[in-house]
Amino acid sequence: MDSELKQRREQFVHGHLGGSFGEVVAVTSLLTLSHVLFSSFLFAYPILINQKYSRIRSSLDFLLNIGPFLLAITIFESFIYHLLFLIILVIFLNFRRYIKRHKLKFSFPLEKSWTKISLEYEHFGSRLPYVSNLMSSLLLATSIAIMAVDFPIFDRRFAKTEMYGWSLMDVGVGGFIAINGALAAESRLIWDSKVTRFGLIWKAIKSGFPLLIIGLIRLCTVKELNYQEHVTEYGVHWNFFFTIAFTKLISSILCCILPVSVNLFFVSILISAINQVILTYYGLTEYILHADRSNLISANKEGLISLTGSVCLYLFFVQIGRNYLPKRKVINDLLKIIRHVAVIAFISTTLMFSFHQYVEQTSRRETNFAFICFIIAFVSVLILIEISYFIFLHILSHQIREQPTTTKRPIIDPLDLDYQSPIFESIGRRGLLMFLASNLMTGAVNFTVDTISITSSTISLAILISYCAVLIIICQILQVTLNR
């Protein structure tokens, strides 16, 4: 890449201050609710499930899952809350139509008999849909944002913050670490007899090794091609893949050493609090801000120092997985989880604002205490949305099954996969491969197009929509191919 263009692009993503916490939650909730929006149309207009209308259904899947989020971070960036309200309203109206047509009912608080409805997971295989869909939305948001950030149409407050603040792109790596922690083998150590302590480390090495290889390939490619870098993101040589690999390995070792009876919530909070003291009172923040990059450690100070916070985040969500992810039997069990996660969201939000105001501002670069609370609160809100929707589907399914079947209106069970988004399904299973593809495609576009010089919103959106379409096609081809 031309040195002058590289410098211009690095300046383009440099020095940003972010936006507000509420805005980050709102814009990511758009994507989390998008698959619910798509499903609501299938419920309201069941003719769309007919194979004859598969192309219309696929187009709707793409437009509703990609469109609101893409618009929110570009031309409608000033109307995020309006878009969120509109999506919630359409979802409400679609399900209201479905409920009235089939003479069902839904009220809140839930009827006592509904809390005893048995939960069914066989429709979803080995996956927990409320976790899988959350992972899909985070990966999709990250994959879109890493391409969109190189266009002027992408509002700069959504780009990664330079040192302090909240932004959309700051939640990518944090959210990925959190969900991986919840789904990790370490989280099943208590309730899955197949998981052994020392097997955790071997599993972490096996899963981390490909990430290290990918990280090395990315490092060599970036240096060889003189590709743009945001050095203050991870450092000169460090990158996302190294962070994930070492976070998994270090966390697995800690889980192997610590007794199972130890609550990882407290371990995570204790380590992150000690880390915050060192950052604030022992000069580590000053080191990050002002130390020159004269040796290998200082050259990668951001990536190395942020590992402590990443491990704390991972451990916290390992405990989330231990406490809340074993499959439950009835709706009332999930309602208890909702109450607990809501408390976690409230406490972490309160701590985040308190530390942000009185100790040190939220910093992705340091992964400090406020940032850890930021990711915990953010992911907790999205988990609440997904579990609530899962409960809602079970209540509808229960009522449908209690009714006599009718030949006039064939009724498909609300839990049936016909109502699920194929896009979210494929990302949930092949998300990491899609993320790799998104990195390669972003590089290819940046080498062929001077994205930062494109001032036309129409051209920018056309490129971004095409990018998203190709990305989804690749993900679905991988899903079909690897399932054979």
Q: Which pLDDT tens digit goes with each residue over 132-177?
A: 888 889 999 999 999 999 999 999 999 999 889 999 999 988 999 9
pLDDT at residue number 407: 42
Rounded CA-CA distance 234/433 in Å is: 22
Q: Give burial (CB, 10 Å; 0-12/13-18/19+) of 270.
A: exposed
- CB burial of 45-68 (b: ≥16 within 10 Å; e: otherwise) equals ebebbeeeeeeebeebbbebbbbb
Say if residue 190's pLDDT is above 90.
no
Residues 6+ apart with CB under 8 A from 263: 319
Over residues 246-252, mean pLDDT:
90
Please state, as a whole number, how many other Cβ atoms lie within 10 Å of the Cβ of residue 461: 17
Structural domains of the chain, count: 1
Rounded CA-CA distance 84/241 in Å is: 32
Q: pLDDT tens digit string along 347-358?
A: 999 999 999 999
The one-character DSSP state at 109 is S
Q: Rounded to the nearest 5°, which phi and psi values hold at 24?
A: -65, -45
pLDDT at residue number 11: 83
With tokens 């990882």, the residue in question is 264
Q: pLDDT tens digit string along 275-299?
A: 999 999 999 999 998 888 889 999 9
- Sign, CA dihedral 333-337-340-343, equals negative
Residue type at position 404: P
Which residues face 118 on adjacent strands? Answer: 330
Rounded CA-CA distance 109/117 in Å is: 15
With tokens 């409805």, the residue in question is 117
Over residues 208-233, mean pLDDT:
87
Over residues 371-394, mean pLDDT:
93
DSSP reduced 3-state for 434: helix
- CB burial of 309-338 (b: ≥16 within 10 Å; e: otherwise) equals bbbbbbbbbbbbbbbbbeebeebbebbebe
More confident residue, 373 or 291: 373
Q: pLDDT tens digit string along 73-90?
A: 999 999 999 999 999 999
Over residues 322-331, mean pLDDT:
82
Over residues 20-44, mean pLDDT:
93
With tokens 């079909």, the residue in question is 480
Question: Per-residue confidence at 410, pLDDT binned at 50, 70, 90?
Answer: very low
> Which structure tokens are listed for 454?
């494109």
Over residues 11-36, mean pLDDT:
90
How many Cα atoms within 13 Å fall on the side-chain side of residue 269? 13
Q: Are 449 and 463 in contact (CB under 8 A)?
A: yes
What's the whole-number average pLDDT of the chain?
87
pLDDT at residue number 483: 67
- Domain containing residue 337: 3-482
DSSP reduced 3-state for 269: helix
Q: Are 139 and 427 in contact (CB under 8 A)?
A: yes
Which residues face 330 on adjacent strands? Answer: 118
Over residues 217-231, mean pLDDT:
86
> Which structure tokens are listed for 230?
């945001």
